[in-house]
Structure 1
Amino acid sequence: MSWVDAMEDGRQRVLVLAAGVSIVTGLGLVGALELGLARLRRRPVSVGVRRGALVFGALVIAELGCVAWGLLVEPRWLDVTHLEVETRRLPAGTRLRLVHFTDTHLHGQSPLIESLPERIAQLAPDLVVFTGDAASSSEGLHRFNALLRRIPARLGRFAVKGNNEAWGEPGEGIFGDAAAELVGSPVVLPGVPVTLCGAPNGFGKDGLRCLEQAPE
């Protein structure tokens, strides 16, 4: 499946969802109009009409809220979660900082995503891992790789394909020199007893096999 096919599949799902919302909204609008006309004519209003008007009003509020969230909140919201994990398998005094991010879906202009290299650099990572769905087009993937190259990581940058890349960019090496792609084989980090395992979307069994092959 090409990028175009993948995007077309996504558009079809959006259209189906939009059609469903439009039908329900239309029914609610009819109910609201009937309610208004009944009041103007001073006629009793049925329970069904009242419910339709309430549904319409609730949908309008919900749709406005979704639009406001998508335009004003989400594009500017970066949530960073810090998690500390202790293990006896590392030599005493060894600290390893890993930064994981995913699902950037880069396509058009996104100031938030384009600021990620600087924001991640402030965390001083030893290791950077990206787990798929970098972009929604070939152009977006090129821009993502350019951003990824700007992220410093002492032990390297690693990535796996998500469903977007698996459908739109067949074959290996789509991240170029921006990140080493994990394709189901164990990768031992230099200088530390840590092994990375990962597999592209749709190849979960390869990931499990990688864990079985990883050194203790």
Structure 2
Amino acid sequence: MLLSALRHLLTLLLALLFAAVLLAVWGLLIEPRWVAAREVAVPVSGWQGPARLKVAVASDWHIAHEFRHVMTIARAEGIVEAINAAAPDVVLLPGDFIHGRGEDGTTPEQIAAVLGRLRAPHGVYAVLGNHDWWTDGPRFTRALRAAGIRVLLNEAVPLPGTAVWVVGVGDRMSGHSDPRRAVRGLPPGAQALVLMHDPASALDLPALPGLVVAAHTHGGQVRVPFLGSVVAPHGWPKDKTRGWVEVGGRPIYITSGLGVSIYPVRINVRPEWVMFTVSGVEQKTATRRP
């Protein structure tokens, strides 16, 4: 009887070990590289912009040279090609372009050379994230601008050829967030595409019709069924780490981003870039494609 019990225990331990190995392979090698291209429809009452404006959002790239950091230059180039193939009208990049602080030798100029290949008739706009500031914010700004990307720091600019504005809010964690300053120059009743790195900046954002997107959370990187995200950055609510959430009384979309940070794993939180279709025509709230 004892022998039979030991055999059952050994079988159980082997099964658990096998499951742990599979989970590790999935979380370390497969899911972090299984990028989702999501499509989200955004109906805006009295929309003043182009009908069915296609807005691509790609954040938290965390680009590095080393395979273990997931987002290599080559993989980033492939994602840029995929975004271009989807033909966005405008591209928003909400920060954290570099992994860590570039310890493996990755430079802002190398990253800008990749992201500078993004193409959209109404332009490509970016804000810096905390990792970009920690590395060298001014250098990142110069490199991205030299590559044709409009870098915004608490400012608003008109979207060329439209009645819509693009608002870029600075990063909160590195001390650059000033949402009220960012919208100060907007005309009354303006509609906008707002991008920020840290969703907490939305707490101080005045009411503004249009689309508001944020990043930084990575969707928690690991989500447990029925429990939600295992972690969230700097006290942010664990139940508000991805997708549509309400912040400061308004809906914002928090993207789960493309790369990884701190630990190179994703479980039940696929990396993503998102194509929003902004329109005044009432549509389904969201559809997805893998």
What's the TM-score once normalised by structure 1's chain length?
Answer: 0.65
Which amino acid in 2 is paired with 1:162? Answer: G
Aligned to 1:7: none
- Per-residue CA shift, 1:19-46, capped at 9, x if unaligned? xxxxxxxxxxxxxxxxxxxx89xxxx9x
Which amino acid in 1 is paired with 2:76? Answer: I
Structure 2 residue ranges without an equivalent (≥5): 191-290
Structure with the largest fraction of strand: 2
Aligned to 1:81: 38
Q: Confirm or deny that 1:200 pairs with 2:167.
A: no
Equivalent in 63, 66, 81 of residue 24 of structure 2:
66
Aligned-partner Cα distance in 1 for 2:183–2:17: 47
Q: Confirm or deny that 1:101 pairs with 2:50.
A: no
Say if 1:205 and 1:144 are closer, same or farther in 2 by CA, change over 3 A: closer
Aligned-partner Cα distance in 1 for 2:183–2:80: 30
2:144/2:150 contact within 8 Å kept: yes
Aligned-partner Cα distance in 2 for 1:55–1:132: 43
Equivalent in 120, 134, 142 of residue 173 of structure 1:
142
1:166/1:200 contact within 8 Å kept: no
Which amino acid in 1 is paired with 2:155? Answer: S
1:99/1:128 contact within 8 Å kept: yes
Q: Confirm or deny that 1:154 pairs with 2:121.
A: yes
Aligned to 1:213: 185
Structure with the largest fraction of helix: 1
Aligned-partner Cα distance in 1 for 2:43–2:79: 27
1:193 CA displacement: 0.9
Structure 1 residue ranges without an equivalent (≥5): 1-38
2:92/2:125 contact within 8 Å kept: yes
Which secondary structure state, in structure 2, belongs to the residue aligned with residue 146 of structure 1? helix
Aligned-partner Cα distance in 2 for 1:214–1:204: 20
1:116 CA displacement: 1.4
Say if 1:213 and 1:60 are closer, same or farther in 2 by CA, change over 3 A: farther
Aligned-partner Cα distance in 2 for 1:174–1:89: 34
Q: Confirm or deny that 1:129 pairs with 2:86.
A: no
Say if 1:170 and 1:152 are closer, same or farther in 2 by CA, change over 3 A: closer
Q: Confirm or deny that 1:112 pairs with 2:75.
A: yes
Which secondary structure state, in structure 2, belongs to the residue aligned with residue 98 of structure 1? strand
1:198/1:210 contact within 8 Å kept: yes
1:187/1:196 contact within 8 Å kept: yes
Which amino acid in 2 is paired with 1:125? Answer: P
Which amino acid in 1 is paired with 2:31? Answer: V
RMSD of aligned Cα (Å): 3.0
- Per-residue CA shift, 1:38-74, capped at 9, x if unaligned? x89xxxx9xxxx9xxx999858844652344212332
Which secondary structure state, in structure 2, belongs to the residue aligned with residue 129 of structure 1? strand
Aligned-partner Cα distance in 1 for 2:178–2:40: 27
Higher relative contact order (CA 8 A, sep 6+): 2
Give the length in aligned residue pairs. Answer: 168
Which amino acid in 2 is paired with 1:104? Answer: W
Say if 1:63 and 1:201 are closer, same or farther in 2 by CA, change over 3 A: farther
2:125/2:151 contact within 8 Å kept: yes
- Per-residue CA shift, 1:64-110, capped at 9, x if unaligned? 523442123322x111111122331316x633111000011110253
